[in-house]
Amino acid sequence: MIHNAAAVSLLLISVLSFVAHGRPISDDFIRLPSDRSFIDRAFPHSYGDDDIGGTRWAVLIAGSSGYWNYRHQADVCHAYQILKKGGLKDENIIVFMYDDIAYNEENPRPGIVINHPLGDDVYKGVPKDYTGENVTVKNFLAAITGNKTAITGGSGKVVDSGPDDHIFIYYTDHGGPGVLGMPTYPYIYADDLVEALKQKHASGTYKSLVFYLEACESGSIFEGLLPEGLNIYATTASNAEESSWGTYCPGEEPSPPPEYETCLGDLYSVAWMEDSEDHNLRTETLQQQYELVKRRTANENSGYGSHVMQFGDIGLSKDDSLFLYMGTNPANDNYSVIAENSLRQISSRAVNQRDADLLHFWDKFRKAPEGSSRKHEAQKQFFEAMSHRMHIDNSMKLIGKLLFGIEKAPEVLQTVRPAGHPLVDDWDCLRMMVRTFEAHCGSLSQYGMKHMRSVANICNAGITEQQMAEASAQACDRVPSNPWSSLNKGFSA
């Protein structure tokens, strides 16, 4: 602060000297590049609206469908509102969401989506760039890399950025070791995502890129895969071997309005968004937000929460303000970051991402009138989900025993590689083994992604495709026909 004060004093003395000698201060003098850089060095985060040196771009994606996954699309809609208030233009914000929540028959407020128990509608005005069956891996990666010719359907918008531009990517959904869910098949595999980011860097079409990732085991997407030197900074809701959490769920405090039977948001996601809403983002750095979000998401005294991680060029987080990527709401110009009061009320508990669907079905069953068709439907949905879970869990355990023996199987399937190492050596093997499993046992689906580490370890152990096919055929005599097996969607790999 002393150096900053001295710098300002010298600048004022210089200006006053010109005035005292009767020499006019022209506009050209005020805008001299040397003077601009002098101020920037003194106040590295005091950017003006046109002083970031390029354009801000954003890609927002919810990777799920279904009303029980309400929170993911609510997260994305909320993120859009923050960026819009921050000054980003719709032409530079690309939104991927299945768009089956706002007007879903389960939604108690048709056409309205909220991300907080007392929150306003975040759905209004959100661009419908890629919805329904156009929310695909191919379109998502093409949008990031700016490959217009690879886009199928949707608005056709891509990140058509230049070398001075700043890019913000936010993904929220279910995940598993090395994989991120999508409402369509296939899913996003970590090597494909990181390869797309490398391609974007090689094209020289951005100055810096920030990636916020909400999913179970989300740390595994970048662990051992995202190198330094790409000017990419990534944070994840969890490390490589733990779940992330939904929040503002039925039974929590604060709880959703009583007519809601689903979680309204995700813990990591609402943490960074509520922090962004409360502060002047010109002065808050990425690192400051990371620390605040990390503390709120861990919530270590409550028995739930996850460990927020960071990857890539971590130095960016210390140097760059959030303003570079999100802009800032002018209404917050007088608010600075104060660690002690930067967090809103923390809910009393949260729900494991993988159990949020069960919570929805149970709350729906609990509230439905006795003997009603709604109560019967909720009971059916709950039991179908549980049956699918048991099938996937038991099938994977049996395959492990057939391949490695009863005693050794648990150790092999549950092995976690040391920090800094990728999940699997051969990603093509991982895809092949997933397809083989699903051909005999049905889709892993959003719940079964938890077993991706087991499949990766089968690859790492040198098991062949034929061995996997034989074991899968023995473990599963048929592919289940319930909705959770997603028979009609194809393979997730």
Q: Where are the domains of the chain?
A: 2-42, 56-351, 382-489
Edge-first strand order for the sheet with 245-247 is 265-266, 245-247, 351-352
Q: What is the pTM of this model?
A: 0.89
Topology of 382-489 in CATH?
Topoisomerase I; Chain A, domain 4 (1.10.132)
Reported confidence tier of residue 300, pLDDT bands at 50, 70, 90 = low
Model confidence at 466: pLDDT above 60? yes
Q: Is 417 helix (H, G, I), strand (E, B) or coil?
A: coil
Residues classed as catalytic: 174, 216
What are 489's two structure tokens?
């969607």
| CB atoms near residue 270 (< 10 Å) | 28
pLDDT for res 479: 85
Residue that wins the pLDDT comparison between 343 and 15? 343
Model confidence at 90: pLDDT above 60? yes
Q: Is 9 helix (H, G, I), strand (E, B) or coil?
A: helix
Distances (CA, A) of 220 to 59, 102, 349: 21, 32, 25
Model confidence at 41: pLDDT above 80? no
Q: Which DSSP helix (H) or strand (E) runs through 456?
A: helix 452-460
pLDDT for res 330: 94
30-37: long-range contacts, CB 8 A cutoff, minimum separation 24: 35/11
- DSSP label at 235? E
- Mean pLDDT of the 459-480 span: 95
Topology of 56-351 in CATH?
Rossmann fold (3.40.50)
What's the mean pLDDT when you consider all of the chain?
A: 88
Model confidence at 50: pLDDT above 70? no
Model confidence at 35: pLDDT above 90? no
Distance (Å, whole) CA 61 – CA 75: 9
Q: Which of 169, 172, 76, 65 lies closest to 127 in space, CA to CA?
A: 76
Distance (Å, whole) CA 216 – CA 20: 64
426-430: long-range contacts, CB 8 A cutoff, minimum separation 24: 426/459, 427/178, 427/189, 427/190, 427/191, 429/459, 430/178, 430/189, 430/455, 430/456, 430/459, 430/493
How confident is the model over 366-400, as pLDDT tens digits? Answer: 999 999 999 999 999 999 999 999 999 999 999 99
Model confidence at 335: pLDDT above 50? yes
Q: Distance from CA of residue 485 to its chain's centroid?
A: 25
- Mean pLDDT of the 469-483 span: 89
> Are 313 and 232 in contact, with CB atoms under 8 Å apart?
yes
pLDDT for res 304: 81
Model confidence at 484: pLDDT above 80? no
pLDDT for res 299: 74
Axis-axis angle for helices 356-367, 373-404 (nearest 10): 150
Model confidence at 231: pLDDT above 50? yes
Reported confidence tier of residue 27, pLDDT bands at 50, 70, 90 = very low
Distance (Å, whole) CA 245 – CA 347: 12
Q: What is the 3-state secondary structure (H, E, C) of 467-481?
A: HHHHHHHHHCCCCCC
Distance (Å, whole) CA 104 – CA 123: 13
End-to-end CA distance of the chain: 54
Model confidence at 28: pLDDT above 80? no
